A and B are shown apart, each in its own frame.
Chain A
Amino acid sequence: MPVNVVTLTKMEVGQHGRIFSLTHSNPDKVRKLLALGLYPGLPIRLLQKFPSYVIQVGHTQLAVDTETAQSIEVAKEPGAGAACSRHRYRHGWWRRWLNHRDSFSSE
């Protein structure tokens, strides 16, 4: 497994990546995620971690719980997280809640 591959739970908010694989002991769960359109290779971005995980895939936002998030492995794309935090800093505290710009014009 490549070094930059982590489960969704280990990613930081604002980080970009590509879905690497779906691993869950229950094949029905994997099937459901596939049916929702989470195919390996698609670019995603983590928008939020608490109370649930929210990811953006294309123009869709998807909320999943921790258990499901653990079964999604992502190949991180370097750099994106840093760019985001610089942004936040520049724009003041309230942007933290909005997570301005980067998040929407993802990929």
Chain B
Amino acid sequence: MEHCHSKTGRFPGLKTWSGTQSRGKTPNVHFMNQIALVGTPNVGKSVIFNLLTGARATVSNYPGTTVEVSRGKSSSGRTVLGVVDTPGMYSLMPITEEERVTRRLLLEERPGVVLHVVDAKNLERMLNLTLQLIEAGFPVVLVVNMIDEARRLGINIDFRKLEALLGVPVVATSAVYRLGLDRLREVVAGYRLHTKRQAESQDAPRHLVVYTPEIEKNILKIEQLLSNNYGLTKRAVALLLLQGDREIHELVAKRDTANYDRINELVAGLQASGQESLNFVIGKRRQDRVSKLCRQVVTEWPQHRLSWGERISRLTMQPLTGIPILLLVLYFGLYRFVGVFGAGTLVDYLETGYETVVNPLINSLVTSYVPWPAVQSLLAKDYGVLTLALRYAIAIVLPIVGTFFLVFSVIEDSGYLPRLAMLVDRVFKWVGLSGRAVIPMTLGFGCDTMATMVTRTLESPRERVIATLLLALAIPCSAQLGVILAVLSGRPKAMAVWVGFILLVFILVGFLTARLIPGEPSGFYMELPPMRWPRWQNVLMKTYTRMQWYFVEVLPLFILASVLIWFGELTGVFQFLIAVLTPLVKWLGLPAQTAQVFLFGFFRRDYGAAGLFDLYRSGGLTGTQLVVASATLTLFVPCIAQFTMMIKERGVKTAAAIASFIFPFAFLSGYLLYRLILFLGVSL
């Protein structure tokens, strides 16, 4: 421990920092056991979190990857620290739901060290939040990440000086190259020692940002009216009140009820005395301070060469080149790799293996060792857990989902998605969404359940409902997509009809819902991170983690479905449901066996898809039937898992409304499609 102390002696800022801490006078029980990673989206918080804890939080190259707090443990020497990774936030005053999550965590848990991670390329845009965090009395360590990229751009930062000016420890890191992490660990460990020793020190408060005299006067007055502890310094609470932070206003109204009216008067009075909004004046003042700081510590040698990433980026964003690029990505990434290779070659190979080797073996073992026919059919035979559920999961769903997630991870890490978002924003506005919705929508092609969770990053509740509906209705998940691509791959006309039909439904339903649900479309703005080479370690890790997640999620449900079907068959319920569905299916011009596929699809989208694949391989369907079945199956049912997620994210009412719209709608549009094909007399 002596060792740590001498190391941290190098940080001139530590003394001032503990002064700031004691000024907050927040007696805290969990004083030092928690480290929180906060900062703007896409600066590398999750990379650092993974390195500190050995966890596998998702890392991707677009803002808004992390939507939930994740927790882990980091042990250095004898001590174990809790580490928290948070959704990105732009300022201490939250606007979106994820930002609110992060601030609540900071206020309620009062972490012992707050690691503010920033992008070294954009210090001028990042330090504003650092000043807010310091002002609020958090024990801040500034982590200046991505120094590799900053160096390449000719940016040089004087870290010592920055440390001295800010009065908090500053650590330079390049997380993906694992540089600076030992320093970071040391600083965090040293921080703990210093806090304990100097928590009582009596340093006079030093304000990094001094606002206009009028504002300062009111801050003092408000500070005196606040008698409760809000997890922030009184100065920060006063500033947030002046800036009109609704949540803090509510909190103060509740805890300092007696003085709240007086405080509100002060805020209103000050606001009325100036033209600009207080929020703007305060922010601008802070930003001026940041600009001054940056002039003191950042030197830059402009580079006169466009990087390869920048060139590609331009190409993806211009419609003339961007649309062909999008089509190429879809053709090679989705069709060739997932459809033809994953759902074709890989599935064929595994299926053949399973059916010729595994299934006969299981069947013969079960028939010879299990005497009861009922149990025999539970384990093996047509709908057995081992012969059907496991086969669907391993031989059909897993290779498709795996190839999809591999492609998706590469796309995610390259930084293509935000560019796609800006490209399609105008089109998405027609269906009541903004370009931002591209991310949940593309993720939906992997797994709609996951994607429904990610709709959180959308700004308005209206947009979230529309996105949830469209995900449930018109976005096939990777298993469905893979199977459908494979099934239709030999028939280009049929494929075109299916794609066109689903696209039409997507646009039509989105268009109508956007007009039915009241509210404004939300504006679009998005940071475009630099294009980066996907790093294969991260791509493989992500693919593996997602496949694992998927498998763990899917297998029990597949088994459950198998058991339910077995039970249904024993009791006659299964036959009954099939009997109910059969006329519906016939109405669509499909053979009676498809009723079973639809029933499977009810349990899970992918289960139904696998069933369709089975039927297709047995050669029982014509081109028209394949298209109608694929289209209806794509639209029909959000599966049980997705439905559960819809309830969790949107509430029972909305989820039920969506489901009860989809069910008849899917069959009706399937019917219309069938009739249309008959009417036009095309052969597919």
Give the distance in Å from the alpha carbon of A29 to the alpha carbon of B304 in the complex. 35
B148 contacts partner chain A, Cβ-Cβ < 8 Å: no
Q: Are B421 and A29 in contact (CB under 8 A)?
A: no
Known: A57-B125, A59-B121. Contact between A51 and B319, CB under 8 A?
A: yes
User: Which residues of the other chain, A, contact B601 by a CB distance below 8 angstroms?
Assistant: none
User: Which residues of the other chain, A, contact B9 by a CB distance below 8 angstroms?
Assistant: none
Q: Are A62 and B528 in contact (CB under 8 A)?
A: yes
B491 contacts partner chain A, Cβ-Cβ < 8 Å: no
Give the nearest-CB partner of B303 in chain A: A105
Known: A62-B528, A67-B523. Contact between A50 and B319, CB under 8 A?
A: yes
Q: Are B280 and A36 in contact (CB under 8 A)?
A: no
Known: A51-B422, A105-B302, A105-B303. Contact between A34 and B280, CB under 8 A?
A: yes
B417-438 interface with A by 8 A CB criterion: 418, 421-426, 429, 434-435
User: Which residues of the other chain, A, contact B124 by a CB distance below 8 angstroms?
Assistant: 37, 42, 58
- Residue from the list A28, A60, A100, A105 in contact with B125, Cβ < 8 A: A60
A12 contacts partner chain B, Cβ-Cβ < 8 Å: no
- How large, as a class, is the contact surface on chain A? 35 or more
A48 contacts partner chain B, Cβ-Cβ < 8 Å: yes
Give the distance in Å from the alpha carbon of A38 to the alpha carbon of B422 in the complex. 18
CB distance from A66 to the nearest CB of B (A): 9
B318 contacts partner chain A, Cβ-Cβ < 8 Å: yes
Interface string of A65-86 (1 = CB under 8 A from B): 1011000000000000000000
Q: Are B280 and A30 in contact (CB under 8 A)?
A: yes
Q: Are B125 and A97 in contact (CB under 8 A)?
A: no
User: Which residues of the other chain, A, contact B277 by a CB distance below 8 angstroms?
Assistant: 27, 30
B310 contacts partner chain A, Cβ-Cβ < 8 Å: yes
Q: Are A39 and B306 in contact (CB under 8 A)?
A: no
B320 contacts partner chain A, Cβ-Cβ < 8 Å: yes
Give the distance in Å from the alpha carbon of A99 to the alpha carbon of B320 in the complex. 14
- Residue from the list B121, B302, B306, B525 in contact with A98, Cβ < 8 A: B306
A6 contacts partner chain B, Cβ-Cβ < 8 Å: no
B31-52 interface with A by 8 A CB criterion: none
User: Which residues of the other chain, A, contact B95 by a CB distance below 8 angstroms?
Assistant: 28, 31-32, 35
Give the distance in Å from the alpha carbon of A67 to the alpha carbon of B320 in the complex. 23
Give the nearest-CB partner of B520 in chain A: A26
User: Which residues of the other chain, A, contact B287 by a CB distance below 8 angstroms?
Assistant: 39
B586 contacts partner chain A, Cβ-Cβ < 8 Å: no
Residue among A33, A35, A104 with most chain B CB within 10 A: A35
B315 contacts partner chain A, Cβ-Cβ < 8 Å: yes
Residue among B124, B153, B277, B284 with most chain A CB within 10 A: B124
- Residue from the list B284, B524, B528 in contact with A39, Cβ < 8 A: B284
CB distance from A46 to the nearest CB of B (A): 13
Q: Are B303 and A97 in contact (CB under 8 A)?
A: no
Q: Are B421 and A63 in contact (CB under 8 A)?
A: yes
- Residue from the list A35, A50, A105 in contact with B90, Cβ < 8 A: A35
* Chain A to chain B: the 4 pairs with minimum beta-carbon distance, closest first: A37-B125, A35-B90, A63-B422, A65-B524
16 A-B pairs (CB sep. < 8 Å):
A28-B95, A34-B91, A37-B126, A39-B284, A39-B287, A51-B426, A52-B435, A58-B125, A59-B155, A63-B418, A65-B435, A65-B523, A68-B524, A68-B525, A98-B311, A99-B314
